Amino acid sequence: MKNFIQNLIFSVLLLIGLAACNSEDNSNTEPATVDSTKAEITIKTPTPVEKEIEVDEGNVIRASSYSFTGNIGEGAAVEMRLDVDSYEGNCISVKGEYWYLSSKKPMQLEGEICFEEQTVVLKRMKEGKVRETFEGVFTTQLEKIIGTWEKMGKEEVLEFELTNGLNAKGLKLFAFALEEGLTGEVSAESPSAMNIGLDKKGVYIEGLSGPHVKSDFGAEYFSSNCWYENDARNSDSGINISLVKLKSTGQAIAISYIWTSDEEFDGGKDAEEPNVEETKSSSTHVWLLISGEPVDILVEDASAAKNSIYAILKDNKVEVIDKDKGTKEVFDLK
C-alpha cells in the first residue's frame, strides 16, 4: 500500500511538471506571420497543359473578358470580372473588378495571367498603393483558380477559390455552338470561320470572315454580323450565341440565334418606283449537354419534348422547362 501511494504521488508530480513545461513552451511561441500562414496553405500544383498545336494569333479572335465566381476563406462569396488589356508574349495583362455578393460594391483589380506557368497575380489598388493581392495557379483553360488572398497592413491571409463561368462542360458546349453556327452550311454573305479551337487560353475562332464583318466576343457570349449592298440588293445577317446557367440544376445551356434579312429592288434602287421584295429568315437552337453530348432541346411544344429539360420559343424569348423540378426559366433571345 505504501509503495502504491508513493507511486501515485510521483505520477501526480510528474504530470504537474510536464504541464508547466508545456505552458512555458507555449508562452515562447512566436505569433503567426503572413509568410508562415501562406506556407500552411497548401495549393495543389495544377496539371501541366499538354503541348498544343501553335495557332497564328494574328488570325484568331478570343474572348475579351473572363468571369468567375467563388469564395475567399470559408464563406465570403465573391464574383470577379477581368477584361483583357493587352497581350505580352505568353502572358496577358488584365483589368477588372471583384465584389462580395453581400455588398456588391466593386473593387478595382489589375494584374497578369501567364499561361505557360499557369499563374495568376492580381492586385487591388487604391490611391496608388496595393491594398490586396490574389496569387494563384489555375487549371486548363482557366477553369479554376486556387491561391492565397492577402490584405496588406493587417497580415490577413486566406485561401481563395474561383471557378470560371465557362467550366469544362461550358467550354465544350460554347465551342460546339460556335462551330455549328460559323463553320456549317453558312452563306458567303454571313459570318463564317475556318475553325473553332480550344486551347489553354480557352475558346478561339480562327479565320472569321464575311462582308463588312463585325464581332463582339465576351466571357460567355459571341455576336457577329455582316452586311452587303449593291445597286439592286441589301443584305444583313448575323449570329448571337450566349451561354447561361440554369438555376434549377446549375447546368449550362447555349442559346444560338442566327438570322438573315434581304431586300431586292426590282429595277434597281434608282428606279422611280422600285418594287422591293423583302425576305427574312432565322433559326434558334438551345444546346444542352446530355450524357456528355450536345443536344438541341428546343421543341415546338411540350408534347414534342423528349427530355426532362426542354425549351420553347414564346414572344421572342426562350423558356426552359424542367419537368422533374417543375421550374421554368425565361431568357431573352439576343
Q: Which of 61, 50, 39, 271 is nearest to 148 (CA)?
A: 39
8 A C-beta contact, residue 227 and residue 211 = yes
Q: Is 130 helix (H, G, I), strand (E, B) or coil?
A: strand
DSSP class of residue 171 equals H
What domains does the chain contain, in order, with CATH numbers? 59-164 (2.40.128.120), 168-332 (no CATH)
Local structure of residue 59 (DSSP, 8 states): G
Q: Which of 176, 269, 200, 220 is nearest to 65 (CA)?
A: 220
Cα end-to-end distance, the chain, whole Å: 92
User: 0.75 exceeded by the pTM?
Assistant: yes
DSSP 20: H
- What's the pLDDT tens digit per position in 287-330? 999 999 999 999 999 999 999 999 999 998 999 999 999 999 99
What is the mean pLDDT, run by run of 10 residues, along the chain of 334 residues?
Answer: 45 43 41 48 52 75 91 93 89 95 94 93 92 91 90 87 83 93 86 91 92 93 94 94 90 94 89 88 95 95 94 94 94 84
Residue 163: partners with Cβ closer than 8 Å, 6 or more residues away: 68, 69, 70, 143, 144
Beta bridge partners of 150: 133, 157
Tell me the chain's radius of gyration from C-alpha atoms: 29
pLDDT number for residue 46: 52
Looking at residue 4, what is its pLDDT? 43
Tens of pLDDT, residues 48-81: 545 556 778 889 999 999 999 999 998 899 999 9
The 10 Å CB-count burial string (b at 16+, else e) for 300-316 is eeeeebeeebbbbeeee
Cell numbers at 73, concatenated: 476563406
Closest CA to 134 of 157, 167, 164, 116: 157
